[in-house]
Structure 1
Amino acid sequence: MIDFSVHNTSDQSIRPISRRGLLIGASGLLAGGLLTGCGIVPEVNTPLNLYSVSPKVADVTNPPSLDWQLVVAEPKAGADLATNRIALSRAANRIEYFAEGVWSDAAPALVQSKLIEAFEDVVPQLAVGRDSAGLKPDYILQSELRDFQAAYSGSSGEAVVRITAKLVKMPERKIVKSIAAEARQPSAGGGLPGIVAAFEAALGDVFNQLIAGVLAAPQS
C-alpha cells in the first residue's frame, strides 16, 4: 500500500491520511506514469521501515510440574489494531498511525509469535505451540489485544499494551484462569525508534504477567 501522508523528519510524520492527500497522491501517480511513458523515470517513493520487537522476560524459578501442552491462540483485536500500522493516540477516541514505519507483521500475529518465544525461553520444559499447527493441547491461552498504541500528551509519548487472557482447559473448554495484563512505558528517545523501544519494554512487562498467571493456574 502506498502511503500518501506527508513525511516530516522533525516530528516523525505523526499524521493521518486525508482524502485530499489520497487525491493528491493519485494525481502524482498518474503524472508519474505519463512521465515514464515519455522516457523520464519518476522519483521513487521512500520505502517504509519495518519494525519488530524482542521483549525481555524474567526467568522463571521453581516452575510447577508441566506435563501438559499449551497452545497460544492469536489474540483478537479491533480493526484499529488488527493491522501492521503502528497506532498512536493524541486525543480521546481517535486513532492515527505513524507514516514512516510499520510492524513486521499485523499486531495480533506479532504478539502471538513473541509470546510463544517468551514461553519457550523462560519455561523450556513447557510444550507450547500455536493454534494453526493442528496440535491437540491440554490448555489454550485465548486473549484479546485491548491496547497496543503509543499515547501522546503534548510532545511526550508512551507505549500502552493491554491484554486480557483466559486459560481454557481442553477438551472441556472450561476457563480455569482469567488474566489481565497491562503496562505503560515512556519513550526514552524521540521519534518512532524510541516508541518502538518503549513497545518492546511494555510488551516484556505484559508477558511476565501472562506467564506468571498461566503457571499459577490450577492444574486438574
Structure 2
Amino acid sequence: MGIVIPAHNEQDEILGCLHSVTQSCAEASNDLAQFAYQIFVVIDACTDDTLSLVEDFAHHHSNITILTTSFKNVGSARNFAWNYFMERVRADRNADFDLTWVAFTDADSRVPLHWVATHLAMMQAGVDCLVGTVSPRPDTGSAELIAKWFSMHTLFENHPHVFGANLGLRGSYLDLVGGIPQLPIGEDTAIVAAVLKTGGNVRRTDACRVLTSARLQGRAEGGFSTYMQSLR
C-alpha cells in the first residue's frame, strides 16, 4: 500500500497529519500480518519549514519517503508520488498491481484510526476506487461556519461528493487511466470520472471520514478553502 500526502507550505499542519496516518497504519498492522506500506510526502515548492519537520519525523518512521518537487500543483504532486511508487512496485517481480492500493489525503487533514484498514477492506472486496467523505475540523473554524458547511453537505453511503483528502485507488486502475490528472484543482473529480469511464467499481462511502482544516487561506485557489470562504 502506498499513501500519498502532497504538502505545499504546511509547517503548521503536516505533523498532525503524519501522526494520524502513522497511527492508522499501526492500527492496520495489528490486524494484518502481511501488511506493508509506504508513506510518500511530496514537499511541493515549499518555502517554509515543512521539509525539515518531515525529515525529523521520518528519522523515527522508516516507512516515510520524502519527495521534493517544484510544481506548486497538487495534481502534479500526487501524480509524481504515484509514478515513483509505481516504479518501485514494478521493480518487485512478486508484486501485483491488482493487489496494490494507493490512498490519498492532504497535509491539513487528520485520518481516523480505521482509515487504512477501511481502504484495504474495500480493495479486498473488489472496489477499484474508494471515494470517502471529509468534514471540517472543529478546532480550525467557527462553529457558525462549520454548521453552515454541514447544512450543505449530508454525508452518507453513496454520497455525491469527491474529496482529494480521502481517496483510494487500485494500482491497476491508476495505471490503466494514466495516473492522476495534473491539474491545480479538480484532479480528484477527474480521476474518479476516468475510473468510471473505464468501468471501474467506484464505492462512495462515509465509513472512514477524514477531518480537514476549515481554514480560509488555503494552498490552491478554487479548492476547499476557497469554498469555505464562500460560506462566510
TM (norm. structure 1) is 0.24
Larger radius of gyration: 1
Q: Which has the higher strand share?
A: 1
RCO higher in 1 or 2 (8 Å CA, sep ≥ 6)?
2
Q: Which has the higher helix share?
A: 2
